[in-house]
């Protein structure tokens, strides 16, 4: 790898390419949780998340959802369009879990009557606080039209992924998305993987995602592998 490193995050590295509007995303095995307080490694996670994200981006593309994904390059890297990331994390939830359970007091596993959409400010120093459309307007992060587009796309992505996963006996509990600007256009960015989604086995409710790492449940790599296997069919 001779290309210049542009950015290193918790789970990925981003490298420059010869093309000014494309970058290479390299998926690491490093795992963090609780805003970086818990650190570790999940063997082969980078390989599996690259493969899983690539499959999801291809699926979404086939259903008219535009993303930064260009192509999978090798085991651990994908070529993507360079984005100016919008500083919002969009979370979509179908079943109560995690911070929603804490916030509204619903037990983990309680089905939400309709999908719940949330916005978080992408700011590690502040611990990514929950924000609403008024905060977003005040901060000037996105216009109302852009925010509506993010919401529409996120709910559409939820419908596509939920259906696709359920056919493979996986419940999509919740997930996080990031978007960015590429030449005036909003594209889906980041990754879609067991790091950023909660996946439960449809029959047993067994967790097949990063909660296995967060809560020391064991068989973390096996869970990521299982998601890949079911997607590959
Ligand atoms: N999530 C994420 N990155 C974050 C926070 C959340 O990918 O920085 C994902 C998380 O994996 C889950 C969903 O967003 O699928 C909702 O997470 P939640 O708000 O319940 O927070 P958590 O319990 O993970 O702290």
Residue with token string 């009557």 = 113
With 80 as the cut, is the pLDDT of residue 81 above it?
yes
Does 68 contact ligand 1 (Cβ within 6 A)?
no
Confidence at 113, pLDDT banded by 50, 70, 90: very high
Q: How high does pLDDT run on average in the chain?
A: 98
Neighbouring CB atoms inside 10 A of 124's CB total 9
Which protein residue has the closest C-alpha to ligand 1 atom 20?
A: 98
Q: How confident is the model at residue 116 (pLDDT cuts 50, 70, 90)?
A: very high
Per-residue pLDDT of 28-53, as tens digits, reads 999 999 989 999 999 999 999 999 99
Q: Which of 66, 60, 52 is nearest to 163 (CA)?
A: 60
Tokens of 192: 């879609």
- Residue range 70-95: mean pLDDT, rounded: 98
Q: How far separated are the first and last CA of the chain, in Å rounded?
A: 32
**Band (94; pLDDT cuts 50, 70, 90):** very high
pLDDT value, residue 98: 98
Confidence band (pLDDT; 50, 70, 90) for 68?
very high
Atom 5 of ligand 1, residue of closest alpha carbon = 176
pLDDT > 70? residue 1: no
- Is residue 6 within 8 A of residue 23, CB to CB? The reply is yes
For residue 86, the cross-strand partners are none
Q: Residue 88's beta-bridge partner residues?
A: 121
Burial 187-211 (b: 16+ CB within 10 A, else e): bbbbbbbbbbbbbbbeeeeebbbbb
Q: How far apart are CA 21 and CA 80, in angstroms?
A: 9
CA dist., res. 200 & res. 211, Å (int): 10
- Whether 100 lines ligand 1, by a CB cut-off of 6 Å, is yes
Q: Which residue has the tokens 């509506």?
A: 148
At 38 the three-state DSSP class reads strand
Q: Is 175 in the pocket of ligand 1 (CB under 6 A)?
A: yes
Token pair, residue 75, equals 């085991």
pLDDT tens profile 200-228: 999 999 999 999 999 999 999 999 999 99
Which residue, among 24, 10, 64, has the nearest Cα to 193 in the 3D structure? 10
Closest ligand 1 atom, residue 97 Cα: 20
Q: Please spell the DSSP secondary structure of 151-196, one letter per residue.
A: HHHHHHHHHHHHHHHHTTTEEEEEEEE-EEEETTEEEE-S--STTT
Ligand 1 atom at minimum distance from 175 CA: 15
Angle at 91 between CA 85 and CA 97, to 5 degrees: 145
Report the separation in Å between the CA atom of 33 and the middle of ligand 1, taken as the mean of its atom positions. 9
pLDDT digits (tens, 9 = 90+) for 128-163: 999 999 999 999 999 999 999 999 999 999 999 999
Could you tell me the pTM of the whole model?
0.97
Task: Report the alpha-carbon distance of residue 15 to residue 7 in Å, rounded.
Answer: 7
Long-range contacts of 103-110 (CB under 8 A, 24+ apart): 103/130, 109/205
């Amino acid at each position: 790898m001779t290309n210049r490193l542009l950015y290193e995050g918790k789970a990925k590295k981003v490298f420059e390419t010869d093309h000014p509007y494309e970058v290479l995303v390299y998926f690491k095995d490093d795992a963090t949780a609780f805003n970086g307080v818990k650190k570790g490694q999940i063997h082969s996670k980078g390989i599996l998340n690259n493969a899983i994200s690539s499959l999801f981006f291809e699926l979404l593309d086939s259903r008219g959802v535009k993303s930064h994904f260009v192509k999978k390059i090798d085991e651990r890297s994908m070529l993507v369009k360079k984005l100016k990331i919008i500083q919002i994390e969009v979370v979509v939830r179908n079943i109560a879990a995690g911070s929603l359970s804490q916030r509204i007091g619903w037990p983990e596993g309680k089905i939400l009557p309709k999908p719940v959409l949330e916005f978080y400010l992408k700011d590690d120093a502040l611990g990514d606080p929950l924000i609403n459309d008024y905060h977003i307007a005040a901060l000037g992060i996105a216009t109302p039209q852009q925010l509506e587009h993010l919401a529409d796309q996120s709910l559409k992505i939820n419908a596509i992924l939920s259906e696709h996963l359920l056919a493979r006996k996986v419940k999509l509990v919740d997930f996080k998305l990031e978007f960015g600007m590429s030449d005036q256009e909003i594209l889906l960015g980041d990754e879609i993987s067991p790091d950023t989604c909660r996946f439960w086995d449809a029959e047993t409710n067994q967790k097949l995602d990063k909660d296995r790492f967060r809560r020391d449940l064991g068989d973390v790599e096996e869970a990521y592998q299982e998601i890949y296997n079911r997607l590959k069919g």
